[in-house]
Amino acid sequence: MVTHGVDGLLVEPGDEHALAATILQLAYDSSLRNKLAEASCATVKERYTVEGTARRIEQHLLKALTGYRLDLATASS
């Protein structure tokens, strides 16, 4: 979901020193902040359209229904 250095910054879970350094980097580097903010907005607009979100929800619901029907079929045998 986030590409490090493109539309966000990633740190390893549990690495509080890296997290603190990254926060300070963003606090002091307005150019980087602006670049990441613009890129992250573009990423959201590209990936999360109403149509795309509706399609993903539909796919999950269909998968859930199909799985539910399969479970009923195996439960009755």
- 8-50 residue pLDDT tens: 999 999 999 999 999 999 999 999 999 999 999 999 988 889 9
pLDDT at residue 48, as a whole number: 85
Size (the chain), residues = 77
More confident residue, 55 or 70: 55
Angle, helices 30-47/16-28, rounded to nearest 10 degrees: 100
What is this structure's pTM? 0.63
Question: What pLDDT score was predicted for residue 24?
Answer: 97
Using one digit for the tens of pLDDT, what is the confidence trace for 60-76?
Answer: 998 888 876 655 555 55
Q: How much is the pLDDT for 47?
A: 84
37 closest CA partner among 69, 66, 8: 8
